Amino acid sequence: MIDRAAHAVADPTRRAILSMVEAEERTAGSIASSFDVSRPAISQHLGVLRDAGLVTIRQAGRQRFYRARPEGLQSLRAWLESFWTGALDQLQLVAEAEQARRDSA
């Protein structure tokens, strides 16, 4: 799932769509009207986001409402944070070594 999520958010249009549907549901038509691309192109982007588990879809009559599913990014976030945590650990070691050097001088 991490590969699908990473692929999905690699595209700037899909990131913009995720931002749009983060706070509120939006219809596909409403989403499409915010972009200078065709409705079929937006539908393809929404399909990628759906397949990656990053959006939910609620059907009401003939309309589909999309909403971000933040927990879909959890595995990608955890993977990225592992790098950040490692970097912070390294920074701490360097800072402590520098402080120890200063204390002994």
Q: Which percentage of the chain shows pLDDT scores above 90?
A: 66
Kindly list the distances between the CA atom of residue 55 and the CA atoms of 9, 13, 105, in Å, as whole numbers in the listed order: 12, 14, 57
Confidence of residue 52 (pLDDT cuts 50, 70, 90): very high
Position 86 confidence tier, pLDDT thresholds 50, 70, 90:
confident
Q: Is the pTM of this model over 0.85?
A: no
The tens digit of pLDDT for each residue in 12-51 reads 999 999 999 999 999 999 999 999 999 999 999 999 999 9
Report which DSSP code applies to 34: T
Alpha-carbon distances of 79 from 20, 68, 83, rounded to whole Å:
24, 20, 7
- For the chain, domains (ranges, CATH) are 2-104 (1.10.10.10)
